[in-house]
Structure 1
Amino acid sequence: MPRHSIDDIDRKILRTLQADAKTTVGDIAERVGLSPSPCARRIRLLEQFGVIKGYTVVLDQEKVGLPISAFASIKLERQREEDLDKFAEAVARWPEVVDCYLMTGQRDYLMRIVASDLQAHERFLKDKLTRLDNVASIETSFALGQIKRAEVLPLG
């Protein structure tokens, strides 16, 4: 699909939706200076071109019983394409992994893992992560507190 160029009105629409995805098309249209039909059309185009990937609810991690955030740096024994693909496929199936990035530098992956407690994190490591072929090493750090987490991209 061709790339969609984003103009100032699109940015205003995106900023509004990032602040509150439940905002009605009528309210968005009013804020960006359009009538509802062209505004809805722009939103559909942003969705079709993948600029808007979906809509979600942001939960309080602690209040839903997952207070532990662990950041694991993973080094693989080999970095061949098929090894990277196998690792990515496995990680995609694990709900405990909420973020995972392929990295440059000393480590191959950085992931954020959530858990209800240290025992649950240990079970995740023993039952899933350490059982993957090709994992050479895992270094884990535990978050003591969250200073900032942004769900909103700075659109300028």
Structure 2
Amino acid sequence: MDLNLDTQDRKILAELTENARIPIAELARRVGLSKTPVALRIKHLEEIGLITGYRAILSPLKLGLTHVTYVEVSMNDTREHALQQFNAAVRAIPEIEECYMIAGSCDYLMKVRSRDMADFRRILAEKISVLPHVSNTSSHVSMEAVVEQNWTAI
């Protein structure tokens, strides 16, 4: 999909990615346009689905969620109905920060945040291992976040 973004659109997106609460007047000043064209460009970027929303980004560390584990999940059934059941059940577990269906030695890869190893062990036993159609899991504990960011490359 070719979005035909010009330099001004890219500047607006870069600024909004850094601070979505920036006042239109300040945003306009930074990108070198007046307020009305900036507002119209933002509205257009929202209408075409490039900007999908605005939200507060919470600090997992301040919330005490300092433990990150990546969990590989293998399924005992990969027919569409089984995948849909699994996907719906995963979405209901708040500790699963990300979950991707992947091609490779397992079927899914998920990022799980928890307070500590004991908390992760509970989440794994009580929530992840009992998900529909899970045959086995393999966990990889993160020791340090080297890069952790939202999508900003425009």
* TM-score past 0.5 threshold: yes
After TM superposition, which residue ranges in structure 1, 4 or more long, deviate above 2 angstroms?
2-8, 56-60
Instruction: Look up the match of 1:145.
Output: 144
1:83-105 deviation digits (Å, cap 9, x = unpaired) = 11111111111110111111111
Structure 2 counterpart of 1:53, one-letter code: T
Unaligned runs of 5+ in 1: none
Q: Is the 8 A contact 1:19 1:152 kept in 2?
A: no
Partner of 2:105, secondary structure, is coil
How far is 1:49 from its partner?
2.3
Distance 2:31 2:59 in 1: 30
Instruction: Look up the match of 2:66.
Output: 67
Distance 2:151 2:87 in 1: 25
TM-score (norm 2): 0.91
Instruction: Look up the match of 1:25.
Output: 24
1:101-126 deviation digits (Å, cap 9, x = unpaired) = 11111111111000112222122112
1:17-37 deviation digits (Å, cap 9, x = unpaired) = 111112111111122222111
Instruction: Look up the match of 1:111.
Output: 110
Q: Is the 8 A contact 2:86 2:131 kept in 1?
A: yes
Instruction: Look up the match of 2:87.
Output: 88
How far is 1:3 from its partner?
7.5
Q: Is the 8 A contact 2:89 2:132 kept in 1?
A: no
Instruction: Look up the match of 1:41.
Output: 40
TM-score (norm 1): 0.90
Change (3 A) 1:115 1:52: same
Structure 1 counterpart of 2:131, one-letter code: L
Distance 1:19 1:114 in 2: 24
